[in-house]
Structure 1
Amino acid sequence: MTKTFMFDALREAIDEEMDHDPTVFIIGEDVGHYGGSYKVTKDLHSKYGDLRILDTPIAENTFTGMAIGAAITKLRPIVEGMNMSFLLLAFNQIANNAGMLRYTSGGNFTIPIVIRGPGGVGRQLGAEHSQRLEAYFQAIPGLKIVACSTPYNAKGLLKSAIRDNNPVVFFEHVLLYNLQEQIPDEEYLLPLDKAEIVRSGKDVTILTYSRMRHHVLQALPNLLKEGYDPEIIDLISLKPLDMQTIGESIKKTHKVIIVEECMKTGGIGAELIARINELYFEQLDHSIIRLSSQDIPTPYNGQLEQATVIHPYQIIQAVHQILK
């Protein structure tokens, strides 16, 4: 076991997969000589060279389209968005090409591509650099969507995503890159379609993902001190949602709180509520509580920015409300 930063865990995953499979390459802005805007590709250029670590112009639609074309020829591209917000410029390529070509070609093509990079609300990055695109992409048929939250799951999930024969949109939170954790020295892979039970409990199911996992864990000591016993589930897979794990927890606790950094309107939480009501409505003893970000562009002002996202004290208040 080695204590590893999350950005290093992601770099190790890419390095191991590039070493394992010569068809894997990475493409994006500043991924080569500079080593990536958050150093996820640091030193890989000196090992693999220009043809496998491709620096591109500022042209997301072009290099994403080129990567999809490469995937059709049985290469395995990793597209790094310097910020996931910039990949809105490649929305057509991701939706109409990456997501649909396997289907519209009658299965003649597979699209083994990973589209990854930093997202979420950072520290005063401004509205255009603070987007949460998971809900934008969730409605697109043909995509898998994963949100890592720890160095351990970041490495295991990224390795699995690179090996998958489907397009995977892989979300990393900009404020988690410097998170450290002991991870195994030996190789490991994690499933892309399974949620993680972070803590078992019997009183209430708290569903969360990405950075909000850590806000929930910050609230946990206070909740335990007050005698509450929450079950905490990190969704990890945002598409498909692991409704089996979620359902088993609801059948035990009969109460649900959703904690997300996504916007409330049309967010991941909205889809979760719909699915839970369809499948497990009769198991619920209380209406679902949803804690989501404000439906406004993220302010640059630091205090206003903090006011838009969910904090541990709000999670504690929600548990009080649902268990009163």
Structure 2
Amino acid sequence: MTIAFTGSNGFLGWHTRVLAHSLGEETEAIALGGRFDRVAAIAALERSTMLVHIAGVNRGDEEAVRNGNAEFARQLALALDAAAVKPSTIVFANSIQAGNGTPYGAGKQQAGEILQAAAEKAGSRFIDVKLPNLFGEHGMPFYNSVVATFCHLAANGEPLQVQDDKELLLLHAQTAAEVLLGLHEPEDAQRLATTKLVSEVAALIQATADTYSKGTIPDISGSFERDIFNTYRSFLVGDRLPIALDRKEDARGAFFEVVRSAGGEGQSSFSTTVPGVTRGQHYHRRKIERFTVLSGTAEISMRKLFTDEIVTYRVSGQEPVAVDMPTMWSHEITNTGADKLYTMFWINEIFDPASPDTFPEEV
């Protein structure tokens, strides 16, 4: 199956492309707004089995927000009408705010009506997914969600201030992507969400940051807590990601603690790697994987999916650090020394062959 996306470079678009990649599906990108190319859009639609419309306008003056969302839908409708072969399914990433009387709600409602009419004319199945507030890895602080803002502030050691302590219906972006691609029913977008007060979200993120700053994995036995933890960790990529471990050495040898977990499952493993050999070259959508070199020297490299952004850490058993792989980054470890490399791995869940959450991808 080939899936055409609008908004593929945005927050939800990137998460949905990750899911499509993990499922082995091909993707096509359709630009809208000022970059709309009718001929290119028609060609992309004719190659696609499914269209997922994610692009939207949620910032700007009232007229721009209201009319921008409707204009995106009109551009898609024109391309659909001209396409000789239509996608069999059209999915709209709508909002629970549709029709709530705000400019954004009015624009999303109108966009849904335009796209539904175009789907009916094309003979395509139309799926209207009303999404709640979304959060997840690599959200933009002060833009995408209060979760991203709080994670950014906590990662930088700044205070988390609650100005409007209202209830939020929160859904992780990977779960939203699963709904958009049909792994869940459309109504599950709200059933799978979690209701929290803004103050509760702030307290959880602060507690997560405080616990993790000491090298301890917080209690991530619940899926919401795990998703918050992974979201927070995405703001640490760079110099703050490695966690220095306390290595003690005496006449008997050396000792250091590799991992502490405040709750939930866990599975440890151990490997040896001969000089020059690379292990890994995969990514995870949700699981946390910790690399710790016990003896030898190595390079740990990781790349954010769909980008050329590569981060590399040089590590050794003499100065041990724990490096927790960020979700949706491909990663690898290479023995750069002359001796055999000894590495310990820890994952936050018992390995399930039916759902391994491990997808091949070179760094």
Q: Same fold (TM over 0.5)?
A: no
Larger of the two Rg values belongs to structure: 2
Larger proportion of strand? 2
Q: Please, what TM-score do these two structures have when normalized by structure 1?
A: 0.29
Q: TM-score, normalised by structure 2?
A: 0.27
Which protein is richer in helix relative to its size?
1
> Which gives a bigger RCO, structure 1 or 2 (Cα 8 Å, sep 6+)?
1
